[in-house]
Amino acid sequence: MNARATLSCSLGLVTVALLGGLVALGGVALTGDLGGGTTTVVRTSASPAAAAPVADNNRLLVREIYSRAAPGVVQITSTSGTADNPTVAPANPSSPAQPEQALGSGFVIDKAGHIVTNYHVIEGADQIEVSFSNRDTLRATLVGSDPSTDIAVLRVEASSRGLTPLEFGDSGAVRVGDPVVAIGNPFGLARTATAGIVSAVQERTITAPNGYPIDHVVQTDAPINPGNSGGPLLNERAQVIGVNSQISTAQGANGNVGIGFAVPSNTVKAVVAQLVATGKVDRAFLGISGSTVTDELARVFRLPVDAGVLVETVGGGTPAAKAGLKAGTDTTVVAGESYTLGGDLIVAVGGKRVASLEQLRDQLADHKPGETVKLELYRGSKAISVEVKLGRQPAQPQG
């Protein structure tokens, strides 16, 4: 079984806290004074020869991608427990605690000095510094952060001529096998490039620092390691298609094994826009936990539909509870997966069909707290609709 871990490196000594199977790349943490049947028809009659594949002139070599993007990639040093922070008092005044530093990566997104990184890179920091390719190091301010997607936005005061913004690509257009390049600062090694392919898309979900799921992440085999956190995952056009965030490791291992995950750029773009505008992200909240209906589950238990979301629990006092949604009562195991049956089965939100838990979250993301939406569902074999006034997502998952 894999283990989930958080990596930290203290002057070359890597310590691993075993928690599950993914490693937050929280960076190189330094303590002390440093740092998601076809039919083939064969025609025998004469026909024009198939055109040879045409090279995509927009595709760049790895070195070209690096040349374009590396100047926009930065190293981030976050410091906590600094002496100039009057809110932090040492436990023992006679032996003051040394500041703790963590190194991560980030990238410039505009000429105004906004920089994107991972939330876990700067979490709890009293001071944040950004180092550029020209060796300039500038103090950064935190514009806003979103633990639910592990994204943060910083800002530096710098000449626009000295900034190289990276362009966002469309993570929804990414396909398995597409070439990718990761640029970051693994173990503090500034602006290191590694290359690979997209290993999986859309169906992958990872867990954010606050416990919420991050859907549609991009999986890659491009080597990424502690210190790559917050750096860009780039497509063959040098566009950002993801923000490197986590890796998966085998039991007892602490390095890269070719399984890395990046928060998808389409998610990042939406989050960044809100952070720059307001400094925070507000999300609509329903207040249930559930499971995706599978074909086998629908067949075995003769469910009224073969796609949707089973409502397994309903949080007390939540919008779902106030709207009268019913939770499951009977637990069963199908194909090794546990389900709680007997509750409502949601099939649409706001007139849009939902076939999975991920699609339910996607539909809720299109709404704001305080909005009223109509849920279409089955209660037993009866189709009904329920109106729900959505709430605001809590800081952490309930229950």
**Alpha carbon 51 to chain centroid distance?**
40
CA distance 287 to 317: 9
| Other CB atoms within 10 Å distance of the CB of residue 265 | 28
**Residue numbers annotated as active site:** 120, 150, 229
Give 247's contacts (C-beta < 8 A, 6+ positions apart): 22, 23, 25, 224, 225, 256, 257, 259, 260, 261
Classify each residue of 116-155 as buried b or exposed e, where b means 16 or more C-beta atoms within 10 Å of its C-beta. Answer: bbbbbbbbebbbbbbbbeeeeebebebbbbbbbbbbbbbb
Q: Which of 114, 102, 95 is nearest to 6 (CA)?
A: 102
For residue 138, give both structure tokens. 């500038």
In angstroms, the Cα distances linking 37 to 15, 106, 276, 306 are 49, 44, 47, 21
Sign of CA dihedral 282, 276, 131, 171: positive
Residue of 11, 3, 12, 7 lying closest to 27 (CA atoms): 7
With the CA atoms of 112, 115, 119 and 124 taken in that order, what torsion angle do they form, in degrees rounded to the nearest 10?
-70
Say if CB 332 and CB 341 are below 8 A apart.
yes
CA distance 4 to 248: 7
CA neighbor of 224 nearest in space, from 79, 59, 104: 104
d(Cα 163, Cα 278) in Å, to the nearest integer?
A: 23
The neighbouring-strand residues paired with 30 are: 101
Query: Residue 219, class by beta-carbon neighbours within 10 Å (0-12 exposed, 13-18 middle, 19+ buried)?
Result: buried
User: Using an 8 Å Cβ cutoff, are 139 and 74 in contact?
Assistant: no
* Core vs surface per residue 291-322: b (16+ CB within 10 A) or e: bbbbeebbeeeebeeebbbbbbbbbeebbbbe
